[in-house]
Structure 1
């Protein structure tokens, strides 16, 4: 497994590892490198990840990836029901407010909970982290509801090592990833849409923690 953290001007790669202890080391390393605070952490539900984040950054809010959650849910729904199930599920994660989403989740449970208990329970059991984005305006929601952007970055890294037979050491993998990172990030020329507006929204949402 390879996991990486990236930001403008830098990247860190961990070549192998998973679990709460591993993630705690990853998050602690980020803090040691100068990350002072995390407002919102977007995660994909890996075991121990959320706990590690909040152990190091106790005020961080966690948003679980909606796209990953949808894919997980559909594994437990037979193909002929997936279209109808998704139509009802969209009323949950595309709701305008948390209250509307929770009402629609109750309706989803009433309609599908008996037939697809695992799929529905996965939303109920993880609702606290799945619903964080409802606390923010639409521009911020679009940034935090999915981890697809970093998943795309990881896929590009995966292409670099896919055709290689073996590596003599973990360090050789890191060097290859570094070169690939330089190539990938050279194409990142477009700013995030409405970024100035988003910064102002964040400064209001986290006014006691934002320094300008």
Structure 2
């Protein structure tokens, strides 16, 4: 089959006329879409010419017609004719044998759209509307799976020696396994560095939340270079605080006051909620430990007989609930609750809320990882008021921060 010559002058005239008619530059019917087709085919022909020069003498190789295939690009989808050789030893580089997408722009758009929570059908519609590109579910999965090695590397990256404050919490997602929908747990850790930069330092997959699994995660943090944590903020999962103190003996564990309040609300009669909640708020809004304990005694004297379980919980957890009293107001504000990590979880749920159940664990991890990268980007720069917080940290943890103020 003879090579077809491309009449660029005729193409230029036709393109100029189409532009005058306000036709789009790119896309399904784009003015320049035929040009990239011709450029690709010319490049493939050039590759084959070079290959034949190398193989013709030793292997008596020659041309063997062309094969057609549909390819997708950011300029639209179109058919190209790829030349073949008789010995089937030609391995093109411009468009590889099984390659059907020739633009990394499309890959980036797919991953970006997926990271924003778009479903496969939403992504397919977008690409079809924008570029006239039709991509199957299998191709979308193959493209998004390309970030899995990146995720593994991110999950195992070295961490800093010391973190002033970390928040630890879990999220729950539905996953379809063998036709059965099951609830799975994602463990996440948010930290603030010595420079005041918030960062998710880990996301881990488990069957259900347990202090034993958290212990494994803490051990992994140590293996990734974390030697010290000043304050760890957590909910009141049984055994969780003990696990942290075992793995990091110098760490102060702060139980989340908001979780404690939510737990208390579960046991209140609706008619007592406003009054009892107001009395409990006085406890954690107090300016000192002594005043907080005074308000706890006062609330228990008033409500203890009716709600003993509420005050038994406050008493049992008091040592870890009350750690925040010893610090100045600015530092106290960021450690008395796990709200920072719950805010991150809301960002994740914003992009996962359309998913009734994920098809597998990889689908969850990919979505959460992309949401995490987006969150880390939004958090660029120091936390608000960090200079003041850092000065306060230096008062209480000076030796530990100075000795570990390096990256592992």
Do the two structures share a fold, i.e. TM-score over 0.5?
yes
Matches within 5 A, 1:13-92: 13-16=203-206, 17-92=208-283
Deviation at 1:89, TM superposition (A): 1.1
The partner residue of 1:11 within 201, 207, 213 is 201
| 8 Å CA contact 2:200, 2:376 repeated in 1 | no
- Which shows bigger deviation, 190-199 or 83-92? 190-199
Deviation at 1:190, TM superposition (A): 5.8
* TM-score using structure 2 length: 0.49
Aligned to 2:330: 139
- Provide the secondary structure at the position in 2 that maps to 1:122: helix
- Which shows bigger deviation, 77-86 or 14-23? 14-23
- Provide the secondary structure at the position in 1 that maps to 2:325: helix
The partner residue of 2:370 within 159, 179, 195 is 179
* TM-score using structure 1 length: 0.92
Deviation digits for residues 47-95 of structure 1, max 9, x if unmatched?
2211111111011001100111111101111111111111211221111
| 8 Å CA contact 1:6, 1:12 repeated in 2 | yes
Output the CA distance in 2 between the equivalents of 1:9 and 1:21: 24
Aligned to 1:100: 291
Specify whether residues 186 and 199 from structure 1 end up closer, same or farther in structure 2 by C-alpha distance, changes over 3 A only. Answer: same
Aligned to 2:343: 152
| 8 Å CA contact 2:258, 2:337 repeated in 1 | yes
Query: Greater CA radius of gyration, 1 or 2?
Result: 2
Deviation digits for residues 3-24 of structure 1, max 9, x if unmatched?
1123445532112242222011
The partner residue of 1:161 within 336, 342, 352 is 352
Post-superposition, which runs of at least 4 consecutive aligned residues in structure 1 deviate over 6 A? none
- Provide the secondary structure at the position in 1 that maps to 2:372: helix
Output the CA distance in 1 between the equivalents of 2:393 and 2:378: 26
Aligned to 1:124: 315
Specify whether residues 173 and 132 from structure 1 end up closer, same or farther in structure 2 by C-alpha distance, changes over 3 A only. Answer: same
- Which shows bigger deviation, 74-83 or 4-13? 4-13
Deviation digits for residues 130-160 of structure 1, max 9, x if unmatched?
1000011101100101101101211222333
Structure 1 unmatched runs, 5+: none
Output the CA distance in 1 between the equivalents of 2:230 and 2:385: 19
Output the CA distance in 1 between the equivalents of 2:282 and 2:308: 18
Structure 2 unmatched runs, 5+: 1-184, 192-197
- Provide the secondary structure at the position in 2 that maps to 1:15: strand
Output the CA distance in 1 between the equivalents of 2:200 and 2:289: 36
Count, aligned residues: 212
Q: CA RMSD in A?
A: 1.8
| 8 Å CA contact 1:23, 1:48 repeated in 2 | no
